Structures are given as C-alpha cells and as structure tokens.
Structure 1
Amino acid sequence: MSEHLFSALRRWPDIEAPNLFAVDASDRLILDEAESQLADIQPGELVIMGDNYGALTLGAAALHGCTGIRVFQDSLVGELALASNAGDLADRYRTHTLDRALLADARLVLLQLPRSLAELDEWAQAIARFAAPDVTVIAGGRIKHMTLAMNEVLVRSFDVVNVGRARQKSRTLTAMGARRSLERPRYPATSVLREPEIPVVELAVSAHGGAFAGATLDIGTRFLLTFLPEMKSDAASAIDLGSGTGVLAASLALARPDLHVVAIDQSTAAVASTRETANANGVGARIDAFREDALTERPTASADLIVCNPPFHSGATVHAAVALRMLADARRVLKPGGELWVVFNTYLGYRDYLNRTVGPTRQAGRNSKFTVAVSVRA
C-alpha cells in the first residue's frame, strides 16, 4: 500500500527528471518513527510542516487514517504538488500559513527539516508558542543535509531533543517539552544596510527565517544592483522575479519614484519579508508582493522591466533547470522593447537560453563569479 502510494507521487509543477523523486527515505522514516503516535492522534491534532511534495501528508492520511491534518509548506510549488497528488485524499488536510491557527492544540508535528537554520528556528519557536504543551515534534532529513547546529536550534525551543538511529542515509530528531517562553518572536529579523550599491544612504531589510540571505545583501544581488542606473530608463512597470527579502524591489522603487514594482516569489517567507521591507522603506504603496509560481499568473505584455537573481536549487535539489523554468515565460510577460536583467553564476551559461527564449541578449557585466545579462523583447 505504501509503495503504491509513494510511487504515484509526482514533483509537478516543480522540475521533473528520471533522477529526481517526489518521495525519499526521510519521508518514510518520519512516518515510521511516528507510527505509534499516529495511531492515537485525534482529528485536528496533527500538523505537517515542510512536506516537499505531499508524501508526509498523504502518507498520514492514507496509511494511518488521519483527518483534519493542518499543513504548512513555505513553497508554493510544494503546495501545488500536494494538491495535484492528493486525489481522493484532498479532504483530509487543509493548508495554513505559519501562525496560531496552524499550530493551536497540535499534539504531533511531522517536519521535513529545512536547510536554513533560521527557518528551522522560526518554525520551532512557533510550535513551542502555539502547540499543545505535550506536543511531540518528529523532524527528519537526509543526513548529508543535517548538521549538529539543527539540534542546537531545537534546544532553544524544546527541553528534550533526541537523535534517532540512521536509516538509508536519513535520520530523525525528536523534540519534546515545549518552552513557552514570553520572549518576543525572533523573526522577522531586521537590519539596516549601508552599501555603495544601494541607491539610498541606507535600506531597512526585514527577513523571515525562510527568506534567502536573511537580512543581508547577497553577493549576486549586490552585483546586479550596480547595473540599476543602466536598466530601462523609461520603465513604468517592473517585476522583481524571485524577490526574496525585497532588496531589489525596494531599491528600484526608491531610485525611481514613478515606477510601480510587482514582486513575485513562491516562498511564503519571502513574500512576507518583501512586504515588510517595502513598508519599512516607505515604498509599500508602489510595491505589490505576490506568492506565485514564476511568471505564470502575470498578464501578457504587462512589464517594461524584469529583474531576477534566480535560485540554482529547488529545496535540496541543485539543478540548472530551476532558474530556466522561472525565466521561461519572460518573453510573454515583457512588453515589446522590455528588458530582462538576470544575474547568474557564470559557469551556468544562461546567455544562449535567454537569446532563444526572450530575445537578443548581451553581457552587461562580469566579475570573478557572476555574469549579468540583459535581454530585450523584440
């Protein structure tokens, strides 16, 4: 039964390839470690966080009869994959944001460990604050992506953290004894950037745990910002594709008072961070942040300018196709004469792809690590 269920799962709409799978050994291990608790859990007492493509949620529903499952997935792609895979089990769960409604009175939390320690810290603190006092957290992952620092992060929010035995290169951490401290939430983290690449004296940045680079300026964005004065000068509308904490969106809005910016990211943490960064810098009225899957929801010929510092991984999967999938629809969304500015690791060689799919592309700049390319929609 379990293998039939798991073999039917797909990664779609995420990238799919023969060597990429929608379920791994850590999903199976988490469910096995939780078997006794799942047998006793009552409807509405189970929460699942970070489910990649639905294996944990649908496994709990199909194999253990769980109902009223509350699910949080930071990734919209993961959320869409779960919905696509759910079939007749769609009524067994409901998606939530990371808040009290997700975790109130939860007695068991199954969790795929995120790679970011800050993201894990924000999740753990939320569980400790909102879940039932006797909540048990069973968190798992692939050993190659786990570090001892994860144990230390969990200890900040729980009295007991037990390390499980390894199986098939996976391991679980079980946390109990929620520390219901009265300290303020540690996220979003905030900082003030004073960098020569930023078009203002200082830029306030807000970052939730799952937002890429946190409340700092990552080196790819730093390089792309140096080309801001060269970007389409008469642009009235722009898209920050993969907005992260909103540094690019806020910088564009601050540098160009007549510009309206749409910021897009598939991460809940990133969209919240972008909105908070925009408001902190007084440009919230000119930046609209949306949780969307790449450019699929954007109208045709709706943007004069698109800027993008794309990821090179989806979760733990490093694959060049992740960025290409994001950029695939840029030609449709750009107005004729519109510009797409992209920064990428030089070795990835995206220029030929951009020439074929968007329009004439030139190298605007290159340093020891990154290339910035600009494509013009014919």
Structure 2
Amino acid sequence: MSDVLDSLRRHPDVEAPNLYAVDATDRLVLDEAAEALAGATDGTVVVIGDRYGALTLGAVARHGVTGVRTHQDRLTGERALHANAARLGLGGFTSHGLTRELVAGARLVLLQLPRALDALDEIAALVAEHADPSVVVVAGGRVKHMTTAMNDVLGRHLAVVEARLARQKSRVLVASAPRPAGERPAGERPARRWPERAEHDGLVVCAHGGAFAGTGVDIGTRALLAHLDGVATTAGTAVDLGCGTGVLAVALARLRPGLVVTATDESAAAVASARATVDANGVADRVTVTRADGAGDLPDASVDVVVLNPPFHVGAAVAPAAAHALFAEAARVLRPGGELWAVWNSHLHYRPTLEQVVGPTRQVGRDPKFTVTVSTRR
C-alpha cells in the first residue's frame, strides 16, 4: 500500500525536481508521534507549521485521525495542503489562525519548529495556556537549524522537554506538562503577550512572534521611508505588497491623508501584526490588511501607487524569483502612469528587471546596501 506522503505536491508553490513536499523532519515527527496518533480521539490533534500537508494528511491517512486543527503561516502552504487533500480525496481537518480556538483542549500537537525563537515562544505560550493539561508537543526540525535555545523557549511554558535521537539530520523535541499561568522558572522573564509593541519616531509597530523584524523597523524599510514624501499628492489608492508588520502602509496613510491603502501579505503572522499596527496608529478607516498571494484579487490597473520591500530570502534560500513575482503583481495592479516605489539590496541589480516588467525606472536613493527606485507603469 502506497504511503500518502509519497503523493504530496508543493503546488501552488514552486515545483522542481530538487524541491520536495515532504522531508525527513515530517517523517520523523509522524514516526515519533505514531503511538499517540493511533489512540487519538476526534478533535484532540493539532498541527502547526505544516509546510505542504505532510503532518496533517499523514495523521489523517496513516492513523485515521479526525477533527485535526491545523495552522500554517504561509498562505501558499495552506493552499498546498487543501489542494493535496482534494486531489487525494482526504478530509478530516480544518485550517485555523494562531488563536485559542486552534489549540483549545488539544492533547497532541505536531509542530515543525519555526526558525524564530519569538515565533516558538508565542506557539508554546498558546499551547500551555489553552491545551489540555495532558498535552504532548512533538516538535521537529533540521539539526542544522536547531539550537539549545529552542529547548529553553519550550521550557518556559512546558516543564518537561526531552530531545530524541537524530535521524537523517532531523531531530524531535518532545515537550509536556504545561506550566500554570504565571509560573515560570526562577529568573525567567514573564510570559509574553502578543502582539508586542514598540514606538519609532511616533509610529507604533506591533508584531506577533513570527513577523519579520519583530517590533523593529528593518533597514530596507527605513531606506524607503526616507523617500516616501515624494509620492504624488494626487494619488488616491495605494498597495503595500508584502506588508510585513504594516510600517509602510501606515506611514503612507499618515503622510497622505487622502490615500486609501491596501496592505497584503501571505504570512498569517504578518497580517495579524499589520492589523494591530494599523489599529494602534489610528488609520484603520483608510488601511485594509488582507492575507493574499501578491495583490490578491485586486483588479488590474486599479491603483496609483505600490510600495514594496521585497523578500531577499524565502526560508533559508536566496529567492530573487519572489521579488520578480511581486514586481509583476505591481505591474498588474498599477494603472498606466502609476508608480512602484521599491527598495532592494543593491547587489541584486533589479533595475533592468523593473524596467522590463513595470516601466521606466529612476533611482531616488542608494547606499552600499540598499537602492530605492521609482518605476512608472507604461
């Protein structure tokens, strides 16, 4: 009998012979949790961080688990899970945000360890507060990306943390015994409350654990912020593509009181953070935050301005294709004569691509690290 894991695809994410929908960590987590999965009752299993559906569909197909609740930060991964399930005729799961409802009463949590310790902290705190007291967390990762700090973060919220033997360059941490609210080891900082907040020159930035740059303002965004006063005063609509915590969207709305802004990101953590940032700065009447791939369902040729600080990496990989896709989305939604304001790592030399995909491009700022350009839609 074939294993469901052998049939999974990455689609709609990039597919190539050297890119896989399932890795050794997925298989190790499922193997370590096999006994618990075999005896799991309906609605007691939660999956967090599943990349393309291996953990969720593995639990369903291998063990007949029902009522699985799953959370994936990337919209692409969520769509891949649902596409794989539909193609294979599998159900038995529902997708959720990173909220109390995701983990309430859970007795088993399967987790792909996030790289960011703050992201792990938020997940572990949520599990400790709302899962069943008997909950067991089986958390896996690639050994090269794991640190003992992950054990420490889990240990803030769950009293027992055990590292299992590595296999195929992957390892599992098993955590249990949630600490009661307010109880922390001596000398530990208190439980965090998410999102966190920080103020930068009068702009409040809110961030959940998985948001890039946290409550800071990354240096690329700072480089673009320094030039946003050049955005046309006549502009009526704008899009912040890949909005992160919403700094650019909020700055635009404050700079141009007549502007209506749509902020999009495929990361659930980014969208939750941006919504909190928008609310904290009092611009929710003019800024809408949407979880979307690119510009989502915004109509072609419908906006005056796009601002963009594209990702340099996707996961651990340098990914210029991600920036190129966002340039194409900007070109799609900009009306003729509309402008794309972009910042990018200077060594990537994106200007020829911008000229080709969007239109005539001028440089408005540059230093050894970042270049700021404005491209006008043909």
TM-score by length of 1: 0.94
Asked if 1:168 corresponds to 2:168, the answer is yes
Cα offset for 1:19? 2.1
Q: Deviations over 1:231-253 (max 9, x none)?
A: 23321111011111111111111
**What's the Cα RMSD here?**
1.5
Letter of the structure 2 residue corresponding to residue 9 of structure 1: L
Offset at residue 177 of structure 1 (A): 0.5
Match of 2:8 in 1: 9
Counterpart in the other structure of 1:34:
33
Q: 2:89 & 2:28 partners in 1: Cα distance?
A: 21
Matches within 5 A, 1:132-281: 132-182=132-182, 185-194=192-201, 202-281=202-281
The answer (yes or no) to whether the contact 2:46–2:69 under 8 Å persists in 1 is yes
DSSP 3-state at the match of 1:91: coil
1:125 Cα offset (Å) = 0.4
Measure, in 2, the Cα distance between the counterparts of 1:311 and 1:152: 29
Counterparts in 2 of 1:296 and 1:278: CA distance versus 1, 3 Å: closer
- After TM superposition, the structure 1 = structure 2 runs for residues 1-378 of structure 1, keeping only pairs within 5 Å, are 1=1, 4-87=3-86, 88-182=88-182, 185-194=192-201, 202-378=202-378
Q: Secondary structure at the residue paired with 2:285?
A: helix
CA distance in 2, matches of 1:330, 1:161: 46
Q: Quote the offset at 1:180 in angstroms.
A: 2.6
1:30 is aligned with what amino acid?
V
Amino acid at match of 1:33: E
Q: Which amino acid aligns with 2:369?
A: K
- Relative to structure 1, the CA distance from residue 90 to residue 351 in structure 2 (aligned partners, 3 Å threshold; closer, same or farther) is farther
Deviation at 1:184, TM superposition (A): 6.5
Question: Does structure 1 retain, via aligned residues, the 8 Å contact 2:61–2:90?
Answer: no
Aligned residue pairs total 370
Larger deviation, residues 17-26 vs 110-119: 17-26
Percent identity over the alignment is 55
In structure 2, relative to structure 1, the CA distance for the partners of 1:281 and 1:296 (3 Å cut) is closer
Corresponding residue SS for 1:224: helix
Residues 124 and 157 in structure 2, CA contact (< 8 A), matched pair in contact too: yes
The 3 A distance-change label for structure 1 pair 61 and 89 is: farther
Which residue identity lines up with residue 69 of structure 1 in the other structure? V
Which 5+ residue runs of structure 2 have no aligned equivalent? 183-189
Q: Is the 8 A contact 1:294 1:327 kept in 2?
A: no
- SS of the equivalent of 2:175 reads strand
Which amino acid in the other structure matches residue 36 of structure 2?
Answer: Q
Assess if the C-alpha contact under 8 Å between 1:232 and 1:338 holds in 2: no
How far, CA to CA, are the matches of 1:141 and 1:128 in structure 2? Answer: 20
Letter of the 2:260 counterpart: H
Question: Displacement of 1:89 after TM fit?
Answer: 4.4
User: Structure 1: where are the runs of 5+ without partners?
Assistant: 195-201
After TM superposition, the score normalised by the length of structure 2 is: 0.94
Any conservation in 2 of the 1:232–1:339 contact (CA below 8 Å)? Answer: no
Q: Secondary structure at the match of 2:341?
A: strand
Q: Following the alignment from structure 1 to structure 2, what is the Cα–Cα distance between the partners of residues 184 and 158?
A: 12
- Which residue identity is paired with 1:58? L
- Provide the residue aligned with 1:199 in structure 2: none
SS at match of 1:156: helix
**How far does residue 326 in structure 1 lie from its aligned partner after superposition?**
2.5
